[in-house]
Amino acid sequence: METKIIQPSRRGRPPKIERTNADTRALLINTGLAVLTEKGFSATGIDLILKSAQVPKGSFYHYFKSKNDFGLALIDAYDSYFQAKLKRHLTNSAISPLERVVLFANDAKQGMAKYAFKRGCLIGNLNQELSHLDDAMIARIKQAYTHWQQLVEQCLIEAKEQKQIAKSTDCKMLAEFFWIGWEGAVMRSKLDKSSDPLTLYTAQFLRLIL
């Protein structure tokens, strides 16, 4: 029987793995999301992401023109993922509107605990690095926040309709206020390695609107 000799891959190069173009692009985005929810965008080199994904450098520039172009793809992917998470909780008509907010917060706490509070919000992390981002990325971050605020606003409008909160409540303003404070609570949870800041913020937000 013929014995096949497997040549070792060259040092420093990831092994060749058969993937489709869509698979490789998705792998790069998923790996980038995992890395950048823990580390800063400006401090993270492309080489680290390529090594984690086991993708050669030439492949990266086949899919993305630059690191900033990659950053835009990451924001798009994270925004889509997070909107889906928010909709799952905030549009659940089987549960009262304010309880939906609590369930979203509990889900977020569990998610952070799962990764030992090393991962936070990609958009919130990028918001700390605005001086290193180009105008297109900054505009896309603002757009993501707008999407999230609209979902919270609609949930609060339903709470108003169900008389859980006062008829005079400015739901749009409160939705913006929610995300301003929430991102700070996420950062504090990473610092303290505890979900307590998220619990405290959610409780005080609900107390405020009630």
Rounded to the nearest 5 degrees, what angle is found at the Cα of 13, between the Cα atoms of 28 and 67?
Answer: 35
Q: Which residue has the tokens 């420093």?
A: 12
Say yes or no to pLDDT of 17 above 90: no
Predicted structure pTM score:
0.86
Instruction: Check residue 25 and give its pLDDT.
Output: 93
Rounded to the nearest 5 percent, the helix, strand and coil shares of the chain are: 70, 0, 30
- % of residues, the chain, pLDDT over 70: 90
Instruction: Check residue 42 and give its pLDDT.
Output: 86
Query: pLDDT class for 19, splitting at 50, 70, 90?
Result: low
Q: Return contacts of 1-7, CB within 8 angstroms, 24+ apart.
A: none
The CA distance from 6 to 198, in Å, is 52
In this structure, the dihedral spanned by the alpha carbons of residues 40, 44, 50 and 51, taken in order and rounded to 10 degrees, is: -100
25-46: pLDDT as tens digits: 999 999 999 999 988 898 888 9
Query: pLDDT class for 58, splitting at 50, 70, 90?
Result: confident
Lookup: tokens for 151: 């979902």
Give CA separation, 1 vs 4, 5, 6, 7, 70, in Å: 10, 13, 16, 19, 48
> Which residue segments constitute the domains of the chain, with CATH numbers given?
67-209 (1.10.357.10)
Mean pLDDT of 197-202: 98
